[in-house]
Structure 1
Amino acid sequence: MQKHLLIIGFVWPEPKSSAAGSRMMQLIETFKKADYSITFSSPCAKNENAFNLETIDVSQITIELNNSSFDTFIKELNPDVVMFDRFMMEEQFGWRVTEHCPNALRILDTEDLHCLRKGRHQAFKDSKPFDNSYLFNDTAKREIASIYRSDLSLIISEAEMEILYNDFKVDKSLLLYLPFMLDEVEEDLIKDYPEFNKRQHFITIGNFLHEPNYNSVLYLKETVWPLIRKQLPEAEIHIYGSYVSQKVNQLQNKKDGFLIKGFAEDVNQVMQQSKVCLAPLRFGAGLKGKLIDAMQNGTPCVMSSVASEGMFGNLKPNGFVENNAQVFADKAVQLYTNETLWTEKQKHGFEIINKRFNEAEYQEKLLQIIEEATSQLHNYRLNNFTGQMLQHHTLQSSKYMSKWIEEKNGK
């Protein structure tokens, strides 16, 4: 009998706009390979960048926050597995799933640790070193509670796995390391990529609704790019990303070769035309989609330690990891002008994609664990008393708050 997956999305997936959108499409593909019937639902408004899931035979349903219409919907659907896209959706809809489909396996896809990103951002604003006083914020209390209430949480970065184990003491049985799941970059494909002397300019890319991306571009503009242009006066940096606002466009300076290009219809094309990718992120969390795009397309990178976190494991990076602005600029110039070095770093990138993000390996692992958890769900939950306790209290508090809001909205 065909199994049914319900995904409750924070937003509709936009694979061309964000790493989170690409990640969601990879998860959908995994469940489709296992012959799941899939319904994607979201309370978010859909925009023109959203992927039309019906083209891949995935049902699309708009749901409402704080509305009992969801109860009827999920009882009729009766899914075997429910996946929450980010902890906020588990907070909003988890109690309804528990109440009306108690035997459905509940999976949380964290995307990245929001509490980590928020804590780093606050430490950056305070000009202080990041430590546990920043990590243990109010978002952390909500996010970790959501992880405990879920049967399984998907964690995209090994670094975040370590934080959950060591700092938050989350039991390993509740977590699954699941990075980006990518096709192998094959030799035949690599041969068709533009060579060193056919590429030009620097590139950076990222969704501008994401504050770390805007801050990174601002830092490039004010600090790093002048140091690069001093050594390469004819160089340009092309800045791509969706949701370009007026404050982003105002950063453009054609005279200095600092060009805001906006939305990239084909990220592979623009990345393959570029010689070096720059990613000087100063705060953030998770794995960086821009680095994945660069490695897949043979574009070496210079990046900050925040950008590189969880990406390379024990393998050599596809460029340089630097936090000092002057050293960052010097390494960028070195990569841009030294073909031998550039080619060496490019090869590292291909190796990282093929060895650390193997699609078949992680798809099999995810589906196997879901099968095991589903078949032993009662025992699985017995081992998570903290989750049971949080379910009990959260079910009541969220339920009555939501019912109050629904009643209020109806008046």
Structure 2
Amino acid sequence: MKKLFVIGHTFPEPSTTAAGVRMMQLIDLFREFGYQITFGSTASAMEKSASLEEMGISVESIQLNHPSFDALIGELDPQVVIFDRYITEEQFGWRVAQTCPEAVRILDTEDLHFLRKARELAIKEGLSVSEANVYTNLAKREIASILRSDLSLIISETELDLLQDQFRISSEILFYLPLVTDISILQQAESPGFEQRSHMVTIGNFQHAPNLDSVKWLATEIWPGIHEALPSAELHVYGNYAPQQITQLHDQHTGFHIKGWAQDVNKMMQNARLCLAPLRFGAGLKGKILDAMRNGTPVVTTAIGAEGINGKFPFCGAVEEEPGQLIEAAIRLFSNENSWNMARDQGFNILRNRFDLRLFSETFKRKLEVLNNDLHSHRNRNFVGQVLHQQNLQASKYMSKWIELKNRF
């Protein structure tokens, strides 16, 4: 049986983060492909972490800058290793390459961190996200990690285009694999209708800067206009790890309710008539929008929120940039049943045509088989990656050895 070793910066929390959903989807795919899976992390499992061991997945605690990792991965001898973001590849990639040189090394980018950070900085400086400077030191680190890896999983077509067109990275080491949905369980006919729903929702993990900014923007510039036009409507704000600056926005009189963690995202979305996602910056795909579409809930968002979602298909609601436009779109979709029904149906159509699991699983499986069967030729075609790996291996190796000795004494 083939073996997969996943190195996680943290344990996946699929009930609180899109990154957690993503990791569990990857794990499910490899289980379907027949792999025996081990998950390792330097972090500890949290209250809302997925119960990996109950799924038959082995869990290992690993240490930074410690030879015990070499012994562990040598004993596991995996055919495939996944790093859950560029940081884990920086920390452990050289050790994997040294101990298990025949293992396929896969980087799951989740989203491009350097793109998200560049856009965040642009907003803070009063610029548009299109003016964001992506040629940063963080970009150098993340792109170096992509080049060192045998394959990088890219979640958004926008990011795929950026890497190929702007940074000239070969398509051979990139693979588009978005967040996916099992369309066979999509119950469009059973989705609650317009009259069965009430209020609006937004959701997002508050350790993620775009979500924090979005809710503050909602509270100060968007919700007051919606509340004035729809005084009986409420906005329910869901998300784990809310800091005081978010909890203090709770206002019973204006219908702005901070609800905390959503135990059942699907039920929460199905009860709502509209999802608000006014994101001013960010990257990748937005899990909240995919959740909304899956549950028949129209969405009002920005171009950043809609990025990579609808492709050539009509969006599942409205995409606007200015607070006034967002307010008008929310009022229209919340109040007009015909517009609401059209947006709901467009969401289901997007899922069927762009995020159906069956569109990607077999193609990804074949890509893995090609890599496993012809890894040396694949690496030779990405010779720059080999050069970077050689340089990084030596630098990381001797720094790590220095830290090992320092800790010992």
- TM-score, normalised on structure 1? 0.98
Separation (CA, whole Å) in 1 of partners of 2:200 and 2:127: 31
Separation (CA, whole Å) in 1 of partners of 2:347 and 2:35: 33
Contact in 2 for aligned 1:120/1:284 (Cα 8 Å) = yes
2:92 corresponds to: 93
Structure 1 residue 157 corresponds to structure 2 residue 156: yes
2:355 corresponds to: 357
2:79 corresponds to: 80
Contact in 2 for aligned 1:108/1:150 (Cα 8 Å) = yes
Aligned pairs, number: 409
2:305 corresponds to: 307
1:242 corresponds to: 240
Q: How far did residue 361 of structure 1 move?
A: 2.2
Structure 1 residue 17 corresponds to structure 2 residue 19: no
Structure 1 residue 262 corresponds to structure 2 residue 254: no
Q: How far did residue 77 of structure 1 move?
A: 0.7
Separation (CA, whole Å) in 1 of partners of 2:375 and 2:169: 19
Structure 1 residue 206 corresponds to structure 2 residue 196: no
Separation (CA, whole Å) in 2 of partners of 1:223 and 1:271: 23
Deviation string, structure 1 residues 258-282 (Cα, Å, up to 9, x no partner)? 0000000000001000000000000
Separation (CA, whole Å) in 2 of partners of 1:132 and 1:83: 33
Q: How far did residue 358 of structure 1 move?
A: 1.1
Q: How far did residue 367 of structure 1 move?
A: 1.0
Counterpart AA for 1:207:
N
Among 259, 281, 284, the alignment partner of 2:282 is 284
Q: How far did residue 181 of structure 1 move?
A: 1.9
Q: How far did residue 192 of structure 1 move?
A: 2.2
Counterpart AA for 1:284:
G
Deviation string, structure 1 residues 146-181 (Cα, Å, up to 9, x no partner)? 000000000000000010011111111010000112
Separation (CA, whole Å) in 1 of partners of 2:51 and 2:233: 38
Separation (CA, whole Å) in 1 of partners of 2:398 and 2:130: 36
Separation (CA, whole Å) in 1 of partners of 2:164 and 2:226: 40
- TM-score, normalised on structure 2? 0.98
Counterpart AA for 1:179:
P
Contact in 1 for aligned 2:118/2:133 (Cα 8 Å) = yes
Q: Percent identity of the aligned residues?
A: 47
Contact in 2 for aligned 1:185/1:296 (Cα 8 Å) = no
Q: How far did residue 67 of structure 1 move?
A: 1.0
Moved more, 242-251 or 309-318: 242-251
Separation (CA, whole Å) in 2 of partners of 1:178 and 1:162: 14
Counterpart AA for 1:152:
L
Contact in 1 for aligned 2:129/2:281 (Cα 8 Å) = no
Separation (CA, whole Å) in 2 of partners of 1:117 and 1:212: 9
In structure 1, list runs of 5 or more residues that go unmatched. Answer: none
Structure 1 residue 191 corresponds to structure 2 residue 189: yes
Contact in 1 for aligned 2:13/2:50 (Cα 8 Å) = yes
Deviation string, structure 1 residues 96-146 (Cα, Å, up to 9, x no partner)? 000000000000000000000000011111112345762011110000000
Counterpart AA for 2:353:
K
Cα gap change, 1:4 to 1:243, in 2 (>3 Å):
same
1:274 corresponds to: 272
Q: CA RMSD in A?
A: 1.1
Q: Secondary structure at the match of 2:207?
A: coil
2:66 corresponds to: 67
Q: Secondary structure at the match of 1:6?
A: strand
Contact in 2 for aligned 1:185/1:354 (Cα 8 Å) = no
Separation (CA, whole Å) in 1 of partners of 2:385 and 2:107: 13
Q: Secondary structure at the match of 1:239?
A: strand
Deviation string, structure 1 residues 36-87 (Cα, Å, up to 9, x no partner)? 0000111112210101111111111111111111010011111000010000
Cα gap change, 1:130 to 1:194, in 2 (>3 Å):
closer
Structure 1 residue 176 corresponds to structure 2 residue 168: no
2:38 corresponds to: 39
1:325 corresponds to: 323
Contact in 2 for aligned 1:296/1:349 (Cα 8 Å) = yes
Structure 1 residue 348 corresponds to structure 2 residue 346: yes
Contact in 1 for aligned 2:213/2:279 (Cα 8 Å) = yes
Separation (CA, whole Å) in 1 of partners of 2:13 and 2:230: 36
2:125 corresponds to: 126
Contact in 2 for aligned 1:12/1:51 (Cα 8 Å) = yes
Q: Secondary structure at the match of 2:360?
A: helix
Structure 1 residue 374 corresponds to structure 2 residue 372: yes
Counterpart AA for 2:141:
R
